[in-house]
Amino acid sequence: MQTNSNVKVMTESNNKIRIGILGASGYTGGELLRLLAGHDDMTVAMLSAERRAGRSLAEVFPHLAAMQAPDLISIDAFDYAALDAVFCCLPHGTTQEAIAGLPTHLKIVDLSADFRLGDPDLYAEWYGHEHRAVELQGEAVYGLTELKRDAVAAARLVANPGCYPTGPQLALAPILETGRIEAEDIIIDAKSGVSGAGREPRQGMLFSEVGEGVHAYGVAKHRHLPEIEQGLSEAAGAPVSISFTPHLIPMNRGILSTIYVRLAAGATLEDVRAILAERYADEPFVHLVAEGISPATRDVRGSNHCLIGVFADRLKGRIILLTALDNLVKGASGQALQNMNLMCGLPETSGLEQLSLFP
């Protein structure tokens, strides 16, 4: 990619980390900008949006009109020498080649799926084309922050997790590590708001298509399935196969995952609660809710928090776990900023202190 030394860089202090966002006009780019507006140690220096190049941020996101930020430009106009870090919010399938062309001094968090699967052959199977930057795949760190904190902090390239995989992995990984549930009998029923499908207009996303109804999609073949299995297999120390069905709910934000599992011999619900309570006791963004409380998407809206609940099933030997998060924050841009904070040696919570909006 070419650089352009004439691009105006927006900086408020020489001590601030200079951020560029590739693909800034989508929902994840807009959410990153909202979060970065409250970040004391980062400044937004460059924004790209190919079809909206030349427009101001206020034109693309009126709700961010008060934010001091540069106009949107094309990727080819970026002066990467004037940046310290990049968030990549480009569509799946376009990111591998784009990141392969970036200078090596940049710290990069990729919000697409292009580096999440460690096996390039598995990526080709699920995404329909060969991996286009295999040499970088071995360098990429999977950025589920609470489970990969040390690796993220030392990384140059972080693959930000998908929205659906985040909650179930946070709930299940600590339990699988201790062997307190059966790894071969996991069912995940997940429901997401429509913003997870992105900002580009599509017939299936029209209000008249999604309003006043709920429907399953990607049944038994959703692309997040191998990502979930990859993380759970690592936690279990053996291959894990799951049943995963996503549903679209007529709301803007949020993911609620209902997870059905079988306890291992001798394990109890109290064991599971104790494992999760201990694992997340000191975490700023992951919380085990009180017994009997059912996590809800309204409890996390606009925040980087993930809530986990545990219930006994009426079927003997089984339990039900629930996770709730905002798909655009903890499921995307918030987790990306959490990772970038670690990569830059900053407090993990910087720019992410917002509590949930309620009601």
Distance CA 29, CA 22 (A): 8
Mean pLDDT across 30-42? 97
CA–CA distance, 259 with 295 (Å, rounded to integer): 13
For residue 13, pLDDT over 80 is answered with no
What is the rounded average pLDDT for all residues in the chain? 94
Percent of the chain with pLDDT over 70: 96
The CATH classification of domain 164-327, taken from the options 3.30.70.270, 3.30.70.2860, 3.30.360.10, 3.30.70.360: 3.30.360.10
Lowest-confidence region among 31-45, 105-119, 199-213, 240-254:
199-213
pLDDT (mean) for 13-25: 90
CATH of 17-160+331-343, one of 3.40.50.720, 3.40.50.300, 3.30.1330.10, 3.40.50.2020: 3.40.50.720
Q: What is the mean pLDDT of residues 294-323?
A: 98
Assess whether pLDDT exceeds 60 at residue 7: no
Contact by Cβ (8 Å): 79, 3: yes
The CATH 3.40.50.720 domain(s) of the chain lie at 17-160+331-343
Pairing state of beta strands 17-22 and 85-88? parallel
- Other residues' Cβ atoms within 10 Å of the Cβ of residue 203: 7
Q: Which pLDDT score is estimated for 173?
A: 98
Whether pLDDT at 178 is above 60:
yes
* Across 69-78, 158-167, 198-207, least confident range: 198-207
Total number of residues shown for the chain? 359
Q: For the chain, give every residue range classified as CATH 3.30.360.10.
A: 164-327
pLDDT value at position 14?
A: 64
User: Residues 324-357: pLDDT tens digits?
Assistant: 999 999 999 999 999 999 999 999 999 999 999 9
Residue-level pLDDT at 294: 98
Instruction: Say whether pLDDT at 12 is over 60.
Output: no
Q: Which residue has the higher pLDDT, 281 or 209?
A: 281
pLDDT above 50 for 1: no
Q: Check residue 11 and give its pLDDT.
A: 38
Tell me how crowded residue 250 is: count the other CB atoms within 10 A of its CB: 14
Measure the CA–CA gap between 86 and 106, rounded to whole angstroms.
Answer: 7
Catalytic residue set: 163
